[in-house]
Amino acid sequence: MRYQLFYWSGIQGHGEFVRLALEDAGADYADVAHERGDATIMPFLEGARAGALPFAPPFLKAGRTVIAQTAAILLYLAPRLKLVPAVAAARLYAHQLQLTIADLVAEVHDTHHPIASSLYYEDQRAAARQRAKDFRQHRMPKYLDYFENVLVRSDGRHALSAHSYVDLSLFQIMSGLEYAFPLGMHRLHRKLPHLHALVAQIAERPRIAAYLASPRRLAFNEDGIFRHYPELDAAR
């Protein structure tokens, strides 16, 4: 089957978690908006296409099936791409971890848009500095310590004792945080040896390495979820 992924062009965003799974598995897929423009997304959001009604991208079209929400897409794809164990308990745990990753992603977004997504960053800079400070000092360490413990409780190398889509999502989280908060991540580095080892391990997977070196992997930028504003990564 040829999958169709719909996500805004020009940013990695939530769609990148799905792209990494598709790329790692060598799946046949089209990144539709990147190939044909963002206008291809709108008929689905406006209800002019058959299937489930997405609230926002990313969403995946698999034959006649339309699946929205990153965690739900990965829940659907992972068994088909062999990126999750067959045991039901392991699949449920993987979904739990992905939902926790989604919580962290939401908090990252709120560091630069703490008041409203409709406002420019420049319109909420003071609130962003306050929110980012709390995130760096409390929330980011708490989440990353949790995921470090997830790896320790497994085999030390994977979230689920074998390679899965959760590992790919943790790679994306770590990569994004290193871009957005390099100083903050540097201060935490020694506390996260297993997460950093996982990042290196994922980057060396042949299909992921090829993807990262290709034009398909968009660079992090200040239009996406992970944004580097130096004032939000201050030493204090």
What percent of the chain has a predicted confidence (pLDDT) above 90? 97
**pLDDT score at 234:** 81
Phi, psi of 223 (to 5 degrees): -110, -10
Instruction: List, for residues 149-195, the tens digit of each pLDDT value.
Output: 999 999 999 999 999 999 999 999 999 999 999 999 999 999 999 99
Calculate the average pLDDT of the chain. Answer: 97
Helix residue ranges, H only, 26-69:
32-36, 42-45
Sheet holding 65-68, edge to edge: 29-31, 3-6, 59-62, 65-68
Instruction: List, for residues 207-226, the tens digit of each pLDDT value.
Output: 999 999 999 999 999 999 99
Q: H helices then E strands: how many in the chain?
A: 11, 4
Whether residue 83 is predicted with pLDDT greater than 80 in this model: the reply is yes
**pLDDT score at 51:** 87
If pLDDT is split at 50, 70 and 90, which confidence band does 59 have?
very high
**pLDDT score at 236:** 59
**pLDDT score at 235:** 61
Mean local confidence (pLDDT), 31-47: 96
Q: For the whole model, what pTM was predicted?
A: 0.97
Cβ neighbours for 52, distance < 8 A, ≥ 6 positions apart:
65, 66, 67, 68
If pLDDT is split at 50, 70 and 90, which confidence band does 1 have?
confident
In CATH, what class is 88-205? Answer: mainly alpha
What CATH number has the domain spanning 3-81?
A: 3.40.30.10
Mean local confidence (pLDDT), 21-30: 98
88-205: same fold as 3-81?
Answer: no
Distance CA 139, CA 90 (A): 26
What residues does each domain of the chain span? 3-81, 88-205
